[in-house]
Structure 1
Amino acid sequence: MTKPTTGPFTKTPGWLDWYAGPSKPRFVLPANAVDAHCHVFGPGADFPYAPERKYTPCDASWQQLFALRDHLGFHKNVIVQATCHGADNRALVDALQRAEGRARGVATVKRSVTDAELQALHAAGVRGVRFNFVKRLVDFTPKDELMEIAARIAPLGWHVVIYFEAVDLPELWDFFTALPTTVVVDHMGRPDVTKPVDGPEFGLFLKFMREHDNVWSKVSCPERLSVAGPRALDGEQAAYRDVVPFARKVVETFPDRVLWGTDWPHPNLKDHMPDDGLLVNFIPHIAVTAELQRKLLVDNPNRLYWPEESR
């Protein structure tokens, strides 16, 4: 892969560039596997970053994303609108249109979006909207505005992706459970993996999924959650091993409502930038049978994002 660039914008100091030399995974992905969480950034010269953004990434183009897709062995991508682009979905739409049907998108929209604009996003391949509740990344959007957006996208068959941190789930519970669509949680709600997997905090997240069968979860981003880090102690252990019990619990408890993605190009990381090949090798540690791997990587994402091909 080509090296990342910053284009006409200056990257946020201290944040790492994505890793341009990913290893070839040992784990061979099943046919028609989907990377169900990744991004494109700019390039800033073509698709400027939002003035209100809280970080500036290095550029990460659709060409570089699709090169990674092929290198890792995925067949399709789900491209999620990045907060640094705000509600300007042009970079996302451009990537979808270049994917030749092999990508779907999750957009960010405002209350002012028109029905015609929603239809145009749908035609491009968008199938969901993202609501971000991580305060260090975005400014607060009133919940009544978000609920109005959810009601408008429901007839399109879209879903809502929610990004939050585990400690905030109690105060967000009522809002999340009132959403009129399928709800997909990013990265298991960012659990604190230093706490017990059977403790009350993660137990609340499992209860959230157990009591609401419209709730799905991405079991992704161990590099953001781990304290142990990427080093495996021996060849039989996973990198980011402290995240394994949490992700495996979700996969085995809710096998028909889980997704996985690389999170490439891994924005706003400071400590280390993951090798995406190593992230793929994490998968068989959390989905330990061929059946669970197929559900996680093939059946579930295709059913959610390409339902016309799954009938």
Structure 2
Amino acid sequence: MGRPTTGDFRKTDGWLDWYAGPSKPRFVLPTGSVDAHCHVFGPGAEFPYAPERKYTPCDAGKAQLFALRDHLGFARNVIVQATCHGADNRALVDASRASAGRARGVATVRRSVTDTELQQLHDAGVRGVRFNFVKRLVDFTPKDELLEIAQRIDAFGWHVVVYFEAVDLPELWDFFTALPTTVVIDHMGRPDVSKPLDGPEFTLLRRFLREHPHVWSKVSCPERLSNGGPPALHGEQAAYRDVLPFARAIVQEFPDRVLWGTDWPHPNLKGHMPDDGLLVDFIPHIAPTAELQKKLLVDNPMRLYWPEEL
């Protein structure tokens, strides 16, 4: 199946539906915990997918997201705009408005966005924009356009979320450094966890965080980074074990600049669809103390997305 057409809402071949029966986590989340990285997909009949998208997902709307939030024990969500919706943020805005203040958003915007439209997004709960540098997911956007967007959203107190792969950090370093806002790295920059923890790619990421205190990192998506296969093959205790040292290292070295999220409904994931309850049970392995868990799940996301409540 090639690139889908505007009115074609059939799932891309091979796309996995989200896991409909997540377990109840054994780990009890701290009061007020935030799922700081999740998405909504459509539903396509109500919020059509972008004509330029490179995949068509399964529908996964706000009702399912909020039900998962309550089942897992989270208090709030940060909804990140999915690439399949392009710069049409209506599904995100609808979910945020329906959350009664319990969701914030990270949007995708183009250079053509007006100040009035940015204000409307802010009023709907948007607090950041996402720049995607993963070449297989999006077409290239000129860096001068992205820098202009960053300068404009800085006036609203927003931040920039960047999605890239570790091997590309050297060529992106100067651009990220030039951004005037807080910068949040998605999923630790997708490190190759088959390589040593002290290898050049992950060492560079840690150096980048160390040298630039305006840079944060999400330590989410072990299911996307692991080479170990789904937990059902190896047992719960072995789930995503190869990712643990990487995520734990970031949490322990930069405890005030880390976030965690489910990534539900797990866009474009190959191989297996994770049990979100087991993903929550991954948290105490990367943030082993109550103090680190509260920073990761409550203090840091509240500071970034709900600072008016602190």
If the length of structure 1 is used for normalisation, what is the TM-score? 0.96
In the other structure, the counterpart of 1:69 is 69
1-side partners of 2:134 and 2:60: how far apart? 22
Task: Quote the offset at 1:230 in angstroms.
Answer: 3.3
1-side partners of 2:199 and 2:229: how far apart? 22
In the other structure, the counterpart of 2:246 is 246
In the other structure, the counterpart of 1:170 is 170
Task: Quote the offset at 1:272 in angstroms.
Answer: 0.2
In the other structure, the counterpart of 1:191 is 191
2-side partners of 1:54 and 1:218: how far apart? 24
Deviates more, 1:8-17 or 1:298-307: 8-17
Residues 1:45 and 1:234: Cα distance change in structure 2 (over 3 Å): closer
Q: Is the contact between residue 238 and residue 282 of structure 1 (CA under 8 Å) also seen in structure 2? A: no
Partner amino acid, structure 1, of 2:177: T
Q: Is the contact between residue 15 and residue 58 of structure 2 (CA under 8 Å) also seen in structure 1? A: no
Partner amino acid, structure 2, of 1:95: A
Where do 4+ consecutive residues of structure 1 move more than 2 Å? 229-235
1-side partners of 2:304 and 2:172: how far apart? 24
Partner amino acid, structure 2, of 1:190: R
The CA deviation string for residues 160-183 of structure 1, in whole angstroms up to 9 with x for no partner, is: 000000000001111011000000
1:17 and 2:17 matched = yes
In the other structure, the counterpart of 1:297 is 297
Unaligned 5+ segments in structure 1 are 1-6
**Within-5 A mapping of 1:37-186:** 37-186=37-186
2-side partners of 1:253 and 1:150: how far apart? 27
Partner amino acid, structure 2, of 1:53: R
Task: Quote the offset at 1:8 in angstroms.
Answer: 6.2
Partner amino acid, structure 1, of 2:221: C
2-side partners of 1:68 and 1:94: how far apart? 17
Task: Quote the offset at 1:231 in angstroms.
Answer: 2.6
Task: Quote the offset at 1:15 in angstroms.
Answer: 1.5
Partner amino acid, structure 2, of 1:296: L
The CA deviation string for residues 53-103 of structure 1, in whole angstroms up to 9 with x for no partner, is: 001000001000000000000000000000000000000000000000000
2-side partners of 1:74 and 1:234: how far apart? 25
2-side partners of 1:151 and 1:305: how far apart? 19
1-side partners of 2:229 and 2:280: how far apart? 15
The CA deviation string for residues 154-213 of structure 1, in whole angstroms up to 9 with x for no partner, is: 010000000000000001111011000000000000000000011111000000100000
The CA deviation string for residues 224-254 of structure 1, in whole angstroms up to 9 with x for no partner, is: 100013338566x351000000000000000
**Within-5 A mapping of 1:269-284:** 269-284=269-284
1:223 and 2:223 matched = yes
Partner amino acid, structure 1, of 2:258: V
Q: Is the contact between residue 194 and residue 227 of structure 1 (CA under 8 Å) also seen in structure 2? A: yes
Partner amino acid, structure 2, of 1:298: V
Partner amino acid, structure 1, of 2:277: G
Secondary structure of 2:296 counterpart: helix
In the other structure, the counterpart of 1:287 is 287
Partner amino acid, structure 2, of 1:184: V
2-side partners of 1:37 and 1:238: how far apart? 24
In the other structure, the counterpart of 1:202 is 202
Partner amino acid, structure 1, of 2:308: E
2-side partners of 1:234 and 1:17: how far apart? 22
1-side partners of 2:16 and 2:267: how far apart? 8
Residues 1:234 and 1:12: Cα distance change in structure 2 (over 3 Å): closer
The CA deviation string for residues 261-280 of structure 1, in whole angstroms up to 9 with x for no partner, is: 00000011120000000000
The CA deviation string for residues 287-310 of structure 1, in whole angstroms up to 9 with x for no partner, is: 000000000000000010000111
2-side partners of 1:305 and 1:138: how far apart? 26
Q: Is the contact between residue 72 and residue 277 of structure 2 (CA under 8 Å) also seen in structure 1? A: yes
Q: Is the contact between residue 8 and residue 44 of structure 1 (CA under 8 Å) also seen in structure 2? A: no
Aligned-residue Cα RMSD (Å) equals 1.2
2-side partners of 1:56 and 1:93: how far apart? 20
2-side partners of 1:234 and 1:68: how far apart? 23
In the other structure, the counterpart of 1:3 is none
The alignment-based identity, stated in percent, is: 82
Secondary structure of 1:241 counterpart: coil
